[in-house]
Amino acid sequence: MPFITPPSTPPAEVRPAPPTAAELLDQALDAYDWGRPLPAAPKGPGAAAHHWLQAAATFDPHQERPADPFPAGPAHREAEALRALMKVPPAHLAPRLTALPLHQPGTALALWRWGQAQVREGRFRPALRRAWEDRLLAKGPGLTRGYALRHALCWALAERDEARFAALKARADEAAEPVVSHFQRLFGLLGGRSPVLRLWNLPGQDYQDLRLDELGARRLWILPADAEALPDLPADVAWIIPSLDAGLDDRSASIPGGLAAEAQALSARLQAAGRTARFVPSRVAFEDLGMAWFPILIELDGQGNLRTVRMGDAAPRKP
Same domain membership, residue 298 and residue 203: yes
Same domain membership, residue 53 and residue 167: yes
Domain membership flag for residue 35: no
Same domain membership, residue 210 and residue 157: no
pLDDT over threshold 70, residue 1:
no
**Domain end position, chosen among 161, 184, 207:** 184
Same domain membership, residue 171 and residue 82: yes
Alpha-carbon gap, residue 317 to 185, rounded angstroms: 24
Model pLDDT, residue 6: 52
Domain membership flag for residue 25: no
Same domain membership, residue 172 and residue 75: yes
Domain membership flag for residue 7: no
Domain membership flag for residue 61: yes
pLDDT over threshold 60, residue 8:
no
Domain membership flag for residue 86: yes
| pLDDT tens readout for residues 31-71 | 999 999 998 888 888 899 999 999 999 999 999 999 999 99
Domain membership flag for residue 40: no
Domain membership flag for residue 262: yes
Same domain membership, residue 55 and residue 179: yes
Same domain membership, residue 145 and residue 209: no
| pLDDT tens readout for residues 101-147 | 999 999 999 999 999 999 999 999 999 999 999 999 999 999 999 99
Domain assignment of residue 226, given as a range:
197-314
Q: How confident is the model at residue 179 (pLDDT cuts 50, 70, 90)?
A: very high
Same domain membership, residue 287 and residue 166: no
Q: How many domains does the chain have?
A: 2
ω before 39 within 30° of 0 (cis)? no
Same domain membership, residue 223 and residue 98: no
- Positive or negative CA dihedral for 215, 218, 221, 222? positive
CATH of the domain at 239: 3.40.30
- Separation of CA 218 from chain center: 26
Single pTM value for the model: 0.90
Same domain membership, residue 218 and residue 179: no
pLDDT over threshold 50, residue 291:
yes
Strand partners, 208: 199
Task: List the one residue out of 282, 259, 263 whose CA is nearest residue 271.
Answer: 263
Same domain membership, residue 223 and residue 177: no
Element (H, E) at 210: strand 207-210
Same domain membership, residue 85 and residue 125: yes
pLDDT over threshold 60, residue 2:
no
